[in-house]
Structure 1
Amino acid sequence: MWILFALLAAISAAVVVTLSKAGIKHVDSSLAFAIQSVLILIVSWSVVIVQGNLPDVSRIERRVWIYLIIAGVVTCLSSLFSFRALKLGNASQVSPITNASLLFSVILAAVFLKEKVSWQVIMGALLMVAGAIIIAVTKE
């Protein structure tokens, strides 16, 4: 089931890139992100409430709060950087570079989460990064 959700996330991310690029043509990238962030906040808390998970907030451990807060700050920075890159570049070139995060995710998962990483995963991640670079430097 995780593969289905991962594919849905990938498709959603592609739609977000396309719509965001269209939306920031005549708007500052930070302002565009702020507008989207308000909607993200409303939708995400609505899902929590509808699923009945709101009482779980009080049961979250302090260490988990720290991880989630830091991840939230980094998510904001990532989105701000992505929006700025989209403002300055073509979506078809920016998106592959931002998705080079795959390689960094593999490295961080191995170092900090102690996940086992096979040579196939490393090779696949390197090939994806190489592909992203080729796409990004291609002249139109």
Structure 2
Amino acid sequence: MPIWFYWAAASAVFAALTAIFAKLGLQGINSDFATFIRTIVIMMALVAFLSYTKKWQPLSSLTGKNWLFLILSGLATGASWVAYFKALQLGNASQVAPIDKFSLVLVTIFAVIFLGERPNSQEWLGIGLVAAGVLVLAFKR
């Protein structure tokens, strides 16, 4: 397996734990405030990680394009977290998480439009199955 696969698998495990821990942590508090606390924890963890691995870079090494797209990514992430925590507060984790994972389908569509990626028929089939699975899981009765 290529190394990116292990990182992606770790991401999936941590994303799953995020939903469970967040659902438990949201009890009795505002979801936006919970997102703020989560963000502080993430910042502290990243400062520790960057310091430990000595991966700090001078801000002057970023180009205008880097700044633009990292800021846009940060804003999209923040909006995603606020919406996700509110959805978790209001709904079941087992229904919210699959809808959140519809992002897999959207990433593929956006990658085709904005990055020029061209999935093959097998990949489109997989994306279609993910979309169907999201619908089945999210709207179960």
- Which residue of structure 2 lines up, in the alignment, with residue 14 of structure 1? 16
Which segment is superposed worse, 21-30 or 111-120?
111-120
Instruction: Give the aligned residue type for 1:97.
Output: I
SS of aligned partner of 2:22: helix
Separation of aligned partners in 2, 1:91 and 1:56: 40
- Structure 1, unaligned stretches of length 5 or more? none
Change in 2 beyond 3 A, CA 1:132/1:51: same
- Which residue of structure 2 lines up, in the alignment, with residue 83 of structure 1? 85
How far 1:113 sits from its partner (Å)? Answer: 1.1
Q: Runs of at least 4 residues of structure 1 off by over 6 A?
A: none
SS of aligned partner of 2:57: helix
- Which residue of structure 2 lines up, in the alignment, with residue 45 of structure 1? 47
Per-residue deviation, residues 5-38 of structure 1 (Å, max 9, x unmatched): 1111000000010000011121111111100100
Task: Count residues with an aligned counterpart.
Answer: 139
- The equivalent position to 2:61 in structure 1, one of 40, 59, 66, is 59
Q: Give the structure-1-normalised TM-score.
A: 0.95
- Structure 2, unaligned stretches of length 5 or more? none
Report percent identity of matched pairs: 31
RMSD of Structure 2 on Structure 1 (CA): 1.0
- The equivalent position to 2:107 in structure 1, one of 96, 99, 105, is 105
Instruction: Give the aligned residue type for 1:126.
Output: G
SS of aligned partner of 1:64: helix
